[in-house]
Structures are given as C-alpha cells and as structure tokens.
Amino acid sequence: MALVLEKSFFAEYQDKLVSADEAVKIVKSGDWVQYGEFVMQPKELDRALARRANELEDVKIRCVTITMIPEVVKVDPERKHFRFNDWHFSAYSRHLQNENLCNYIPITYHEGKKLIEEYVDIDVAFILVSSMNELGFFNLGTSNSITSYVIEKAKKVVVEVNDSIPVCLGGNGESIHISQVDYIVKSSNNEGLLNLPEPTVSAVDKAIAKKAMELIEDRVCLQLGIGAMPNAIGSMIADSDLKDLGVHTEMLVDAFVDMYDKGRISGKYKTVDKGKMVYTFAMGTDKLYNFLDNNPVCASYPVHYTNDPFIISQNDKVFAINNALEVDLYNQVASEAAGSRQISGTGGQLDFIFASFRSKGGKGLICLSSTATLKDGSVVSRIKPTLSPATIVTVPRSIVYYVVTEYGIAMLKGKTTWQRAEALINIAHPDFRDELIKEAEKMKIWVRSNKL
C-alpha cells in the first residue's frame, strides 16, 4: 500500500513541477504575494518574479524578516511594479526603509492566525520547503510561524523545493501536503540556509548576562530573544551547573544547542509539551540546522501556539529574556523603533513578558546596556525621562516586569511611579543619575524620601 501511495504522489509531483518562470505567471497586477519567512525565503521564485517586472503593476509583497535584498526590490527602485512590506524588520529591511523601498506591518505576534484568517488578503504564496517525503508532505523547515496560515489563506500556493532544508518535526503546522500545492519549483542549486554571523558579545553584554544569571534557577522554562546579550546568557547557562531546564521560545538559536549538548536542558518538569524544545522559527548556523533535522526533541509550532501567553504561562518558572533600545522613567519599553525609524518589530517580546508574570514563579526580563554611543561619539543614557519623540512603545508600563542593566536589577511590579523611577535611576549609568532625578522631579514622580 505504501508503495502505491508513493507512486501516486510522485505522479502528482511530476504533474505540478514547472520552471520558476512558468510558476510566477500566476501573479497578476494588483495581487498580494506572500514570501516565506526568515531564512526560508524563496530565491528562485523571487528572481523569476523580478524578471516579470515590466509586465506587472502594483503587486504588493509581504515577508517576515528578510535575510536578503529581494530581486523584486532591486529591479524596481521607484516601486512602480512591486511594493515590498515586512512584518518584522531586519538589517536588510532597515536599509530598504531608508531608501523608502520597504514598509513595516505592525503585528502582535500571537495574533497572527486570526489576523491572517480575517484581515489579510493573499493571492499567491511562495514557500520554501524541504524535499517531499513518501507520504506526499513537504516540511516547512525552520520557519513555522505564520506560514501554515498563509498556506490556508492563499488562493494559489507555489513551493520551492530545496533538498538542503532540514526537516523540522512538530508540534503541528510544520508541513504542507502536495494536495495543497498548485505548482512545484525545484531549486537549481539547493543552496544551504543563511548562517548568521556569531554575535559580538561586549563586556557590558557579559555584565548584564551575569546580573540576569542571578535570577535563574533549576527547572526554569527558557525563552531567549535575538541578539548578543541573550546569546551571552545562553552561553553562561551552558557553562553553569543549572539542570532540568525547559524550552518554550519564539526563536530557537545556537545557544540552545550548546545548553542541550551540555546537559542543561531536559524539559521533564514542563507542564506543556514535556520534554520538548518548543519554538516557532529558528535562525542561526549549520550547527542549529543540523541539530533540528529530524530531531524529535524539538517541536515546531505555529505562532498562535508558541506565543499565546495563556499557553506559555501553563509552564511554571517561565524565564523570558529580551533586549530593548530605551526605557523611560514611566517604565515604557521601546524595543523596535528609534523615533520614527523602525528597527525591528514587536515580535514575541510583549507575548512572553506578559506570560512570564502569569507563570507560577516566572520572570520576564527586559535587558539593555545603560548607555549608547551615537555616531558622533557622544554617549547617551538608554534610561530616559521620556521616550525619544515619535518612538513606538513595545511593552506598556503596566506589563513591564524586570529591567536589567549592567548596574543592577529593577523589579517594577506593584510599585508606584516614584518607586519605579527610583528603581530605574538606581540601575542607570552613574553619570546620568542626577539629571534623571531632576527630570523625575519635574514629572512629579520623585518624592523627598527617595534616595539612591
């Protein structure tokens, strides 16, 4: 029976197999096209669509965190044919935004399923996938996230098959069946996934990581955000004597492989998905991608599951570690924008900080260096009286839990505005504390009994 099924799917595969140039003919002027996410972006189809630029007008393209400059953008610098948009900015997105070639799409990440089902049009989806297995399934590789919703919503689905894609087990939503596919395009070179450069970890990053480590204990359920500092904490955990840690995270990074290989992660005390390292997308190096390939310890889920605060918080001791750009004395956290310039996106930070407080014994950390050095060499405090003008709030003050700098830890829950201001000024750089006190007095969030 299995042999008959295999032959049947092979025949269907051959029927749907076309060149990239043939597949992109289904795109019409005015269409909404969705590309794959993160390191799972379809290069063959992107190049083919770019070759049709002069035939098309007002084709709107969405992506999540581009890891390349799309060819459709390169061939259309005036945006006459293609309008490119990103759900979460990367360095490439920021570069394109500077040239007015990319727009941001705000999203609270765990709401992705309902948002796409009810509020988003998708005419064509271009999805990068692994080779088809004997049962007719293509794996979505390292990016589950919103991709399964995109597949369900799209009027037409084209998969680009790349044999080098790791098979990332679920969970759920990690695969697409050939019956859901309209066209299949074979990658011409089976190029491997992007390897991110190793983050540069500064002395300040290490100092912040050491402060965060003071709060971590056995059996915590970890979430790490992107960047050098969360990776520094992951490295410290790997080299510690902590034990029986669990993983329920938005992003899986190389540091989790190190922690697992050194015996820190067992997941046996998790309440949800016991024994599994749960994630919705992965970005890192071949070390991570090889670890993921057909590994039953790892469980890939759509983001409405991984990032739902009410699912996350069913685990005890949820320990969420995330970066920020600025925090003001009202405790508002800005992690995605500087003034009117979009830097990244809301991502899962809000989801996991909220969930950590709901979790029994949980802790949600916003970590940032106390100062930043500007291009002109001047040094400014990242703890500010108020956020820079036009800056977007990522985590509202009522949700913020812990803030950590190299100078200490501020726990803000249940505190008055003047207590919160005092706690933050205590962990600001000493050179800026007097100035911050003066501003807090003007803002009426400082009282005589306050002292540092």
Give the CB-side neighbour count of residue 117, counting CA atoms within 13 A: 7
Q: What is the dihedral of CA 220, 280, 101, 373, to 10 degrees?
A: 10
250 counts as catalytic: yes
Kind and range of the H or E run holding 149: helix 147-153
Please give the Cα distance from 245 to 270 (Å, whole number): 9
Phi, psi of 128 (to 5 degrees): -80, 130
Radius of gyration of the chain (CA): 23
Residue from 160, 250, 336, 406 carrying the catalytic annotation = 250
Q: Which amino acid is at 448?
A: R
- Residue 129, beta-bridge partner list: 161
* 282 DSSP 8-state letter: E
Beta-carbon contacts of residue 366 (< 8 Å; ≥ 6 apart): 322, 323, 324, 327, 333, 335, 349, 353, 395, 400, 401, 402, 403, 404
130, two tokens = 């692994």
Beta carbons of 236 and 210 less than 8 angstroms apart: yes
142, two tokens = 């390292």
Phi, psi of 102 (to 5 degrees): -150, 140
Give the CB-side neighbour count of residue 148, counting CA atoms within 13 A: 25
Residue 410, judged by CB atoms within 10 A of its CB (0-12, 13-18, 19+), counts as buried
The residue assigned the tokens 């919160």 is 420
Phi, psi of 59 (to 5 degrees): -85, 120
Q: Could you give the residue numbers annotated as active site?
A: 250
